[in-house]
Structure 1
Amino acid sequence: MLLTDISAEHIFTTTKGGPRVTILVHPFTNTQRDSLGKFEIVRNIREPGAKEVKRSTFVSFQQLAELYAKGVLDEFGFSVRMCAADGKHPNTTPTKKLLPSCIKPGSPFDVAVQGVDVSLPANRELRTALLRTSVKV
């Protein structure tokens, strides 16, 4: 499922120096067992020994809305795995850092973000998911 309430432009260039193509991309839900119906968020972290690695985790629609509402995605430099609207992308699916301005105003996702009580702490499931990316909330 594509979350078309959030969109961003992605410029695709071929490795052979072909024309640059701008496509519209959206977050999408995974189709694998444990992460079925969840969105992938990705973060670069520096491991001991100065090696930079990518860590990712999967979050539900409501958890993604909570992360937006609390500013966690921006604060910790998370990107969201994206897919083209037609479901096709020539290479691997890109990740994009998405600002709240990428959310369509008045959309169901925007309503979900507005409905989050930011004074409440994150639930255990979300905290556990974020620990995979070395983030404690």
Structure 2
Amino acid sequence: MLLTDIAVEHTLVSKKNGVRQTYLLHPFTNTQRDTLGKFEIIRDISEPGFKEVKRSTFVTFQQLAELYAKGVLEEFWFSVRMCPGQGTYPTANPVKKLLPTSIRPGSPFDQAVQKVDASKPANRDLRTALLRMNVKLQG
């Protein structure tokens, strides 16, 4: 499932011939058994004495809305795995940082974000998913 309520333009320039292709990208849900119907969020993590690594975890539609509402995606520099709405992307699906301005106003996702009570602590499933990313939410 594509989450077309969020859209980001992305231009890819071919290394072979310099041709530019512009794609309209959207978050998409995974199709694998354990992560079926969840969105992949990615974060670069660097620890003293180690090289920087990318870590990812999967969150539900509602958890993604909660992360937006609480500003966690921006605060901790998360990216979201994206794919084009039309056609196919020529390489591995890219990851993009998503700003709240990428959300279509009045869309179902925008409404889900607005319904989140940011003062309430995150549920245990979301806190556990984020611990893998070295992010500790209160609650």
- 1:55 corresponds in structure 2 to 55
Closer, same or farther: CA 113–37 of 1 in aligned 2, 3 Å: same
Give the drift of 1:22.
1.1
Instruction: Give distance in 1, aligned partners of 2:76 and 2:18.
Output: 35
Give me the CA root mean square deviation: 0.9
- 2:126 corresponds in structure 1 to 126
- 1:73 corresponds in structure 2 to 73
Q: Which runs of no fewer than 5 residues in structure 2 stay unpaired?
A: none
Instruction: Give distance in 2, aligned partners of 1:113 and 1:52.
Output: 31
Deviations 1:54-75 (CA, angstroms, capped at 9, x unpaired): 0000000000000000000000
Amino acid at match of 2:38: K
Closer, same or farther: CA 133–85 of 1 in aligned 2, 3 Å: same
Amino acid at match of 1:115: K
Structure 2 residue 35 is the aligned partner of structure 1 residue 41: no
Q: How does 1:85-124 map to 2 (within 5 A)?
A: 85-86=85-86, 88-124=88-124
Ranges of 4+ aligned residues in structure 1 off by more than 4 Å: none
Instruction: Give distance in 1, aligned partners of 2:121 and 2:72.
Output: 12
Give the drift of 1:17.
3.2
Amino acid at match of 2:11: I
Instruction: Give distance in 2, aligned partners of 1:9 and 1:17.
Output: 21
TM normalised by structure 2 equals 0.95
Give the drift of 1:49.
1.4
Give the drift of 1:87.
5.2
Instruction: Give distance in 2, aligned partners of 1:136 and 1:88.
Output: 36
Deviations 1:24-54 (CA, angstroms, capped at 9, x unpaired): 0000000001110000000001034141000
TM normalised by structure 1 equals 0.97
Instruction: Give distance in 2, aligned partners of 1:53 and 1:115.
Output: 34
Aligned residues: 137
Instruction: Give distance in 2, aligned partners of 1:19 and 1:40.
Output: 29
Give the stretch that moved more between structures: 103-112 or 15-24.
15-24
Give the drift of 1:7.
0.2
